[in-house]
Structure 1
Amino acid sequence: MGLIEKKVRFSPIGYTRYLRGLKKPHSMFREGKILESLASKSWEIAPGNTTVSPKAYFLDGQLERITGTAYTDDPYTAMHGGFTVEHAPTRAYRLKDAWMMNGFIYKGLHNFRLHPSFQLSKKMNYFPPAIIEAEINDAAIYSTSEGNQYFGLWLTDDCANYALAAAEGVPVTSNIIPYSHMLEYESFLEMNPIRTNAAYLKNAIFFDDNWGNNQNKHTRFAANRNKLLSLFPAASHPGVFILRRNSGISRVMLNEIEIAEQLREKYGFKIVDVTKNSVSEILSACSGAKILIGIEGSHLFHGLMTLESGASVLVLQPPNRFSAVIKNTTDMENINYSFVVGIQKEENFYIDLEEVERTLSLLRF
């Protein structure tokens, strides 16, 4: 299992996407029905289960400020909780004779996209490689297109999937590195994948959980957290504020630094900046935190990787882009979720410190 051969091989497979009727693109991962139809074998790795979504902590009148959402259909229901969540089982699929090129995996008439288009080489998009550099038997693909687009999902999903890949075959991903902090995390989490954009996969193993956070995923996520905490142990402290600044999709909080500094002065919060600090510096500050605070976004997942059960997250939400994505992870890890919705000012927003303090009191801080 897992034989890797360095072999030059010619294949025009990447050019089939230009032929009419042959282009059937899919995002990679969570394509169970498609994978089942293509698989030579499929099996269940872990069963599904059900949980009840807990209510978030928030002040009266906050939800009424929301003017727009992102990846959240019904903020009122999501934040009030009390509903049952069905988490799908984790399944594996083995596909024979697949090809991996320029952020895509090709199988028959189908291609699976591992990256958003803006991360791919435009030149290679029009002139894909025709020379394959390696043949891999039992390649296990743990990357997802969502994980390569959103850093938070890479940490929670792709890094957790790596354990599945290592157990079932040879972990394989593309050689495109979308995040500055990625390689440092891979070192800490003992991830050592094969990186390639030109390979023939004799057997390719894929995984699917249909966005579920079943017990097995919690176990894998917790194992990664324990690895990080063993490297960055710390005594309990009040909390950490993670500055977002202008990183990622724009959502500018006009008084972000002011709020962070006041929390440091009044309550002893630590402050880290994802645009300036290394992973080591960020995790050292987050380890032991009782509360994680910051603007809604993937940068908060640095802190979520170290928070232990019973800790809390306070998310500062832009009123025109309210998102409940982070709550999926806090619910899985028994972490309290709270939020304050900002006040719009032209294209940006600001947060009322008094509302932050009142929300902290709800968390018994």
Structure 2
Amino acid sequence: MTLSPILYRLHQRFGTPPTPQQVAAETVTVCPAETVPRPPAWFLPGQLDHVRGYPAMSDPEAQRIRISEGEVTHGATMAYRLDRAALLGGYVFAGGARHQMIMDRAPFGPRHPRALQGDVSGDVALIGTPVSDIYFGHYLMDDSATALLAQEFGTVRAPFGRRRSGWTHAHDYRRMMDINVPELGDTALGQVWLFDDIGMNSNRRQRMQQLRERLRPKHSTRSGHGVFIIRARSGQVMRHLENETELADELARRGFEIVDPMQETAADLVQRLSGSALAVSVEGSALTHAYLTMQDRGAMIAIQPPWRFDNVWKDFTDLLGMRYGFVLGEGGRDSFRVDIADVLRTIDLILG
């Protein structure tokens, strides 16, 4: 039995608990911070007038800076080794510090962690974040890229996540990318490596390119084409595009592949999306299918709900030298419409 959750809460009540970085027995700078030019996003005049709101916990100014030309400093990629650590309820406890890895609440009372099981040799390297615990795109891109880094430090594992069991596409993609990360429940880890792997630096770019290369099929049915990815009512946050069918019909007349991930296997998606030059979809994890498969230097257009203006995809497209554009819709917080003419004009703009 371990009392780590109780001890941590006592630290919180009577002082400031240490951070995992402060209690780390070893710290490795995998890649230092890098400052690079940032290209502007592609969008029509007047689009920002349609913005009504932003995602929860989002900084509006940061969202606007993302789409502006300038310089950006990408954070360093770091690895930290903690000793006498335990994974409890999706949180790592060590030396009075706590590190959150899933979106669930932290455990409160005593826990009974198991000893490490299976083919673990040397240290454990744990991957996972609260964001990747609930969003398909971050799980597939962020955690898979971190897995390539983590294997250099130990046996790669992840905390058990109850939300991910139904993500069949994600698990199939990982098999195709040769990413195998067994999950752990409450476990006494001993020594464990944790990672700060958010910065879109050159080391992360190399790993993301490696994942894309692993998915690239030997033979693609098309090349240089456009794709429209149906979102419908899928996803964690409601972003229902009311005229999605009409937009799909118009893009189909213009030669776009219309892809519905809910109706196709991961292998089929890879085959149909590979080599595409432009991907269009409602902003969200559905764009992950195209990001991992489209041609180098491709382009992406995110259709944005007016009450949830989010340009996280700009960071990912910048990482690989892709172009990024967006179109704002109009409507309510859960359901909206987009001007199809604006989408077509933005396509012409971004493709030149």
Q: 2:114 aligns with which of 120, 132, 146?
A: 132
Distance 1:15 1:133 in 2: 18
Q: 1:249 aligns with which of 212, 220, 237?
A: 237
Q: 1:65 aligns with which of 47, 50, 74?
A: 50
Identify if the C-alpha distance between structure 1 residues 298 and 72 changes in structure 2 by more than 3 Å, giving closer, same or farther.
farther
> Is 2:265 the partner of 1:278?
yes
Partner of 1:301: 288
Could you say what secondary structure the match of 2:262 adopts? coil
Partner of 1:153: 138
> Is 2:192 the partner of 1:204?
yes
Partner of 2:6: 16
Partner of 1:30: none
Partner of 1:315: 302
Distance 2:260 2:90 in 1: 30
Q: TM-score, normalised by structure 1?
A: 0.85
Distance 1:279 1:239 in 2: 18
Partner of 1:51: 36
Could you say what secondary structure the match of 1:85 adopts? strand
Q: Is the 8 A contact 2:229 2:281 kept in 1?
A: yes
> Is 2:25 the partner of 1:40?
yes
The offset of 1:20, in angstroms, is 3.7
Gaps of 5+ in 1: 1-10, 27-32
The offset of 1:260, in angstroms, is 1.2
Q: Is the 8 A contact 2:83 2:191 kept in 1?
A: yes
Identify if the C-alpha distance between structure 1 residues 131 and 335 changes in structure 2 by more than 3 Å, giving closer, same or farther.
closer
TM-superposition CA deviations, 1:89-135 (whole Å, max 9, x none): 212111111111221211132222211128x9xxxx57775141426
Letter in 1 for 2:37: V
Gaps of 5+ in 2: none
Q: Is the 8 A contact 1:63 1:76 kept in 2?
A: no
TM-superposition CA deviations, 1:46-94 (whole Å, max 9, x none): 2332211111111111111111112352244332x22211112212111
Letter in 2 for 1:65: H
> Is 2:129 the partner of 1:167?
no
217-226 vs 250-259, which moves further = 250-259
Q: 2:279 aligns with which of 278, 287, 292?
A: 292
Q: Is the 8 A contact 2:113 2:188 kept in 1?
A: no
Could you say what secondary structure the match of 1:271 adopts? strand
Q: Is the 8 A contact 1:240 1:291 kept in 2?
A: yes
Q: Is the 8 A contact 1:16 1:22 kept in 2?
A: no
Q: Percent identity?
A: 28
Partner of 1:354: 341
Q: Is the 8 A contact 2:241 2:337 kept in 1?
A: yes
TM-superposition CA deviations, 1:237-284 (whole Å, max 9, x none): 4211111111220111101122112201x2121122233332222222
Distance 1:146 1:345 in 2: 25
Letter in 2 for 1:16: I
> Is 2:87 the partner of 1:100?
yes
Q: Which runs of 4+ in 1 moved over 6 A?
A: none
Q: TM-score, normalised by structure 2?
A: 0.88
The offset of 1:37, in angstroms, is 0.8
The offset of 1:361, in angstroms, is 1.0
Q: Is the 8 A contact 1:142 1:171 kept in 2?
A: yes
Q: Is the 8 A contact 2:147 2:179 kept in 1?
A: yes
In the comparison of the two structures, how many residue pairs are matched?
340
